[in-house]
Amino acid sequence: MRLPYLKKLGVGCLWIASIFFANDFLGEEVMDYRAVDPVLGSMSDVDALIAEAHRLSIKIVLEMPIGHTSARHAWFLESRKGGSSNPYQDFYLWTDTTCNWVTIKSDGALTWDSSRNAAFVHTYGENLPDLNWRDEHVVKAMYDQCRFWLEKGVDGLEFHDVNTIIKDETFRDNPSLSMLLHPRSYERQLHVFDRNRPESHRELRRLHAMVGEYDNRLMAGDILQEKAGESEIAASYVGDQLDITFDDALMRLPFRASAWRWCAQRWYQAVGENGWPAWRMESGKDGRIVDRWKGKDGRARIAAMFLLTQKGMPLLYYGQEIGLCSKAKETKEGKVPTVSWRPMVWTDQEGHGFTTGTPWLPWGNAASSVAHGETDADSLFSLYRRLIALRNEDSVLQAGTIHFLDSGRHGVLAYCRQLGEEKRIILLNFRSRHSEVRTDAHTIMLSTSSMPTWVRGKLVLGPYQGVILKA
């Protein structure tokens, strides 16, 4: 197990992607919620993982698709048969009407099934039919699947695109938007009838109450948005519905101080003063930092300091701490897809400590392996470890309020974390050249690179350099 590595890094929670027996390698096409895909291991492996994680004081959160199943799930196979006495008849969304809904891939969201003589709805592909969360039998069945894992000891569940679990009962057409302004079919609709229905909030409150029957459990969820940056929609699900959710606008912003400040302020305002926002800068679908910002190590370091000095919950995507990228190394077979889930680079030796065989995806480039990063005090890995350690030790960074400051210098992002009389000033230089910043704080707690200098009472930040100061 690699759990001791996470403990050494300072991680307090391991967030695991779907591990259920599924018809796809991403775990989305679930065929059995109570079985582990044999490609990934066994139930005894999961039990051992949970036990060892808890021994090391690491919590486990499990991702769980609840809006759909595989078209090969036993429930859907029974539902296709129809029949008034069939307990699975209404497990999925069936209709004999038509509407203009489209999937996120811009295909039609209704597929005709000749055996049922009706069409079923799918937010994604026709291989992922949508469950009918208006049906109490579905609600009970899905609660039972959640309870199974909560009783196994997982500390939280994360549900995908929870604002899509309820659709309009009469399948009304979504209003159309301009074709000129929106190139994709999915974007040419205002999704008012297939998403964010009022009943979704009701069902999530009920589900949150069920999860709350278990002590100290987390309920998280992704929100499918028109576009990243709709903080208010994501925030509307936080509280008695979701403990945390995400606004992924940061992963689509230019590398510019003003853009990051605007994005963060909007997210804080949306969740409210007492809210607890979640932050992430990499994910399986949105790519890696080093690819997004041209592989510049300094920019990756700015992102690391920004992420780990925000109020709320920061999440790291595996390999982020070593600068793992989405692009693969050259192979004899030629080009391979650019994806985020490259094998982890543990060592510099053959197999990189990941496998003794050949991984099903080629290796990606990384700033360093874990083994090298651990021995290099100036590596990106070492910076992440220092930032996490400081956050774990410093109550101001853990629980302090946040307000943004005028740095007096274009391209420098400045903000203050405060708890009581204690203050931490964070300065991030987004520029490719030096920047002088006047500050009353003079004690440097941590820097992303070599210690900056002082000139005529001003702090001189190097290109793409960030610092945390004690005021």
Q: What is the pLDDT of residues 371-398, one digit of tens each?
A: 999 999 999 999 999 999 999 999 999 9
Quote the tokens at residue 185: 């079919």
Mean pLDDT for 51-79 is 97
> What is the per-residue pLDDT for 361?
81
pLDDT at residue 345 greater than cutoff 80? yes
| pLDDT above 90: percentage of residues in the chain | 75
343 CB-near residues (< 8 Å, 6+ apart): 352, 354, 355, 359, 361, 363, 364
Residue 42: beta bridge partners? Answer: none
Q: Do 217 and 356 reside in the same domain of the chain?
A: yes
Name which of 393, 391, 164 is nearest 279 in CA terms.
Answer: 391
450 part of a folded domain: yes
Q: Do 247 and 164 reside in the same domain of the chain?
A: yes
Q: Do 333 and 185 reside in the same domain of the chain?
A: yes
CATH number at residue 61: 3.20.20.80
> What is the per-residue pLDDT for 335?
53
Per-residue pLDDT tens digits for 123-151: 999 999 999 999 999 999 999 999 999 99
Is residue 445 within 8 A of residue 432, CB to CB? The reply is no
Q: From the centroid of its chain, how far is CA 255?
A: 20
Confidence of residue 364 (pLDDT cuts 50, 70, 90): confident
Mean pLDDT for 162-189 is 87
406 part of a folded domain: yes
pLDDT at residue 74 greater than cutoff 90? yes
Q: Do 324 and 422 reside in the same domain of the chain?
A: no
DSSP-based three-state secondary structure for 305:
helix
CA distance 323 to 321: 6
Per-residue pLDDT tens digits for 207-234: 999 999 999 999 999 998 766 667 999 9
> What is the per-residue pLDDT for 359?
86
Out of 393, 415, 447, a domain closes at 393
CA distance 323 to 314: 17
Per-residue pLDDT tens digits for 221-271: 999 876 666 799 999 999 999 999 988 888 888 999 999 999 999 999 999
pLDDT at residue 59 greater than cutoff 90? yes
364 CB-near residues (< 8 Å, 6+ apart): 319, 324, 325, 326, 327, 328, 329, 342, 343, 345
CB count, 10 Å around CB of 209? Answer: 12
Q: Do 409 and 386 reside in the same domain of the chain?
A: no
83 part of a folded domain: no
Out of 339, 363, 393, a domain closes at 393
Q: Which domain holds residue 454?
A: 402-470
Position 303, amino acid: A
Task: Supply the mean pLDDT for the chain.
Answer: 92
* Rg for the chain, CA atoms, rounded: 24
Q: Looking at the 3D structure of the chain, how many domains does it have?
A: 2
Highest mean pLDDT among 38-42, 406-410, 426-430: 426-430
Out of 393, 421, 436, a domain closes at 393
Residue 443: beta bridge partners? Answer: 470
CB count, 10 Å around CB of 351? Answer: 14
140 part of a folded domain: yes
Quote the tokens at residue 233: 């929609």
